[in-house]
Amino acid sequence: MQHPEGINKQIVRLAIPNIISNFSIPLLGAVDTALMGRLESENYLGAVGLGGVLFSFIYWGFGFLRMATTGLTAQAFGANNNAACGYLLLRGVFIGITASLLLFSLQWHLADISFALIDASPEVEQLARTYFHIRIYAAPATLCLHAFHGVFLGLQNAHYPMLLTILVNLVNVVLNLVFVKLLGMKVEGVALATVIAQYIGICLASVLFFTRYRSLLTKWDIREVLSLSKLKRFLSISGDIFIRTLCLVFSHAFFTAKSAALSDTVLAINTILLQFINLMSFAIDGFAFAAESLIGKYKGARDMQNLKRTTRHIFLWAFLFGGVLMGIFVLFGERLLHLFTNQITLIAQAKPYLVWIVVAPIVNVAAYIWDGIFLGATASRGLRNSVIVATVLFFGAVYLLIPFGNHGLWGALTLLLVARGVSLTVLAPKYLFGTGEEG
């Protein structure tokens, strides 16, 4: 049995690069928000917010390409099955490219259906459509990057995903500034910058993989890549993750749609406040990603003692980190609003809702960390069942609390995270430590 200090070192070694890379993801969204928030109309800010929601449906929906790949690769790594690691990457890339071609062919229908469900003003909708039909062409690179990230994390390598994420987001930010500030583009500039950055990212990911892990693909057979039994297992786990992710994305999209229905001003406020939530969630997810890698490795090695020990230590680290974030939001939350917009009226109207941002880092920890643990163990049915329950509670809460306006919306969103954390805690003995699913 490994000494606790050894587990702590592994957690920190994996978590720190993930935290660094994850911090750059919401910072990109923050730059987009800041650039649009300084244009002459709040419609640009709302359009990027709505466009981002649509791609949350698409890219989060296909998030199983990273999540399932991480858990399965980590288990293969723990079992010393190198060939399986290589095949998992190839299967992920194959599914990513196939899905991208499907998205290309359905993009107009996806846009029509999506905007029919969102009650935004005609001006905001038109700008959001422009954003959507440009950014959709990043799909092949984005989805294949999911598979590369999953394999790297499964191989206990958090530094390559960090490098990839930082590079992609840095290129994206620079191109945003060039297109919007120098060339005078608006939402189309933000979308185009994302497309270019994603393709640069997939090129670097390929170079990194073949530089260090070429041996995983020295002998491979296309029939093994497309093996029905292997694809069936991958897609079974992915299907549960897809349902889980779709519920979460739909819940956040519903939150945004209800924000737009209240007013364009509420939509703009919540677009800004969600940047705080993104910053917090991606930071704590650094520990969740570490959990995926380590829990998967110990499951593959059939080391239940270290699996349980790792679970306890990751929760301790995550709650400590969540407390630090809470302190930052208490001290600097109001000042951080000025980073996203220079509209004084909008800042004043956003202040009353900062209380929901302050409590989020502690309230949401359990949901995020259990997600990582369940994913590493490929306990996908538990994740699916948990989020279905939480989503039903969320939608019920929205309709009960909507008379309280925007506070009601934030109360319902907070309940969604609390319900996920509580339900996964209840399900953990069955799916992780008992006789539940084996993935």
Residue 240, token pair as written in the block: 């549960």
- For residue 50, which of 62, 38, 32, 63 has the smallest C-alpha distance? 32
Question: What does the pLDDT read at residue 436?
Answer: 42
Question: What does the pLDDT read at residue 133?
Answer: 86
Question: What does the pLDDT read at residue 1?
Answer: 44
Question: What does the pLDDT read at residue 28?
Answer: 60
Question: What does the pLDDT read at residue 199?
Answer: 95
CB neighbours of residue 238 within 10 Å? 23
> In whole numbers, what is the pLDDT of the chain averaged over residues?
86
pLDDT over 50 at 344, yes or no = yes
Let me know: does 192 contact 51? Beta carbons within 8 Å. no
Q: DSSP for 311-355, please give it.
A: HHHHHHHHHHHHHHHHHHHHHHHHHHHHHH---HHHHHHHGGGHH
Question: What does the pLDDT read at residue 435?
Answer: 44
Q: Rounded CA gap, 66 and 143, in Å? A: 9
pLDDT over 90 at 59, yes or no = no
Question: What does the pLDDT read at residue 418?
Answer: 95
291-321 burial code (b ≥16 CB/10 A, e <16): bbbbbbbbbbbebeebbebbbebbbebbbeb
Q: Rounded CA gap, 80 and 297, in Å? A: 10
Q: How many CA atoms lie within 13 A of 183 on its CB side?
A: 15
Across the range 223-227, mean pLDDT stands at: 78
Q: Rounded CA gap, 84 and 72, in Å? A: 9
pLDDT over 50 at 439, yes or no = no
336-366 burial code (b ≥16 CB/10 A, e <16): bbeebbebeebbeebeebbebbbebbebbbb
Let me know: does 117 contact 103? Beta carbons within 8 Å. no
Residues 375-414: pLDDT tens digits?
999 999 999 999 999 999 999 999 999 889 899 999 999 9
Residues 106-148: pLDDT tens digits?
988 888 887 777 666 777 777 788 888 888 899 999 999 999 9
Question: What does the pLDDT read at residue 75?
Answer: 93
Confidence of residue 275 (pLDDT cuts 50, 70, 90): confident
Across the range 19-29, mean pLDDT stands at: 68
- CA 83 vs CA 79, 86, 115, 221: distances in Å: 11, 5, 44, 11
Residues 412-436: pLDDT tens digits?
999 999 999 999 999 998 888 764 4
Question: What does the pLDDT read at residue 364?
Answer: 92
Question: What does the pLDDT read at residue 231?
Answer: 84
Across the range 221-246, mean pLDDT stands at: 84
What are the backbone angles phi and psi of residue 364, rounded to the nearest 5°?
-95, -5
Question: What does the pLDDT read at residue 438?
Answer: 45
Residues 72-90: pLDDT tens digits?
999 999 999 888 898 899 9
Q: Where are the domains of the chain?
A: 4-431
Q: DSSP for 155-185, please give it.
A: TT--HHHHHHHHHHHHHHHHHHIIIIIIS--
Question: What does the pLDDT read at residue 407?
Answer: 93
Share of the chain above pLDDT 70, in %: 90
Residues 6+ apart with CB under 8 A from 384: 240, 241, 243, 244
